[in-house]
Amino acid sequence: MSFIEVDSICKKYKVSKRKSGIPGMVANLFVPKYEDKEAVKDISFTIEQGEMVGFVGPNGAGKSTTIKMLSGILYPDTGSIHVDGMIPYKQRKQYVGRIGVVFGQKSQLQWDLPVIDSFELLKAIYSIPSDIYKKNLDRYTEMLDMDRFINQPVRQLSLGQRMRADIAAALLHSPKIVFFDEPTIGVDVVGKDKIRSFIRELNAEDQVTMLFTTHDMQDIEKTCNRLIIINQGSILYDGALDGIRQLHGSARQLDVFFVNDTSVAAIPDVEIIEADKRHSQLLFDGTKVPINDLMSRLLSTYNIKDINIAEPDIDSIIRKIYSREKVAC
């Protein structure tokens, strides 16, 4: 049996349906109407203990609903979920002691208390034995460089410091699985590197299973070895990070640098991204758009300083998958 087994889960919500304007609002008070919204559609996957998996998708794709079912907050309408031999929504009290959750936009630390006081409170809540608590506290304090601020009130911390403290707080009780939701949002480059390094080291040493939901694909590329892409409530891709590049091997990217401020006119079958006023990225399928023809067109039309041919990053590839799925729908 895999550490996490998700088998054909579905989840629907009832959404209020009414006509716009005051008449519609009044009518809805007397005869409310609803429609079903299918947030998750027959999703199945397994995750082994110690895997680091990126779980990504656009807003409204169904990833948050899936994570809530995995963490036991919601239950599936149909299908089943087993994590470490437990059913999260049925054995919730026992289950929460085995998981950790890190929300980039929400903190479990007490705002006006020193960080160490919040840690002591969590020690009591999770009934962490004193020897395990001290061992974990000392280890995470060193790994996350928290010595300088562990005695400061949370409200005085920088965002990067708070995120490091939040990650340590989620791990004090030695969970077997951790759910990360935007763990580096708003954190500077140095802080992100420190957090990602800590996550990799912890996974390598303790085999903690980790599931990431984030819009920062650098978080995924720097930490995960597997990617699950979800959209419209269904899984579009489940496999290795390198595998998605191979599936989209014909994807090409041109980085074009201009002498003057320039806006590139629309080109058929080419996605144009303006990085800044003098730098544009052109994404296209090499089987549809010959690269030599495209370069000739650009050179004859614009005053160009330099052109680089690059492999599209994961962000670009996933964005194209989303857009293609949207067109198909």
Q: What's the pLDDT tens digit per position in 136-172?
A: 999 999 999 999 999 999 999 988 899 999 999 999 9
Q: What is the pLDDT of residue 328?
A: 40
CA–CA dist 137, 146 (Å, integer): 10
Phi, psi (degrees; rounded to nearest 5) at 326: -65, -40
Which among 17, 70, 9 is positioned nearest to 38, based on CA atoms? 9
Q: Is the pLDDT of residue 307 over 70?
A: yes
Q: What is the pLDDT of residue 329?
A: 37
Terminal C-alpha separation, the chain: 35
Q: In this prediction, what percent of the chain has a pLDDT beyond 70?
A: 91
- Helix then strand count (H, E) for the chain reads 11, 13
Q: Could you tell me the pTM of the whole model?
A: 0.77
Top-confidence residue, 19 or 218 = 218
All domains in the chain, ordered by first residue? 4-13+40-245 (3.40.50.300), 249-311 (3.30.70)
* Mean pLDDT calculated for residue range 273-292: 88
**pLDDT band at 249; cut points 50, 70, 90:** low
Per-residue pLDDT tens digits for 42-78: 999 999 999 999 998 888 888 889 988 999 999 999 9
Q: Is the pLDDT of residue 223 over 50?
A: yes
Degrees to nearest 5, angle at CA 175 with 47 and 80: 40
CA–CA dist 230, 280 (Å, integer): 28
Would you give the DSSP letter of residue 188? Answer: -
Q: What is the pLDDT of residue 38?
A: 87
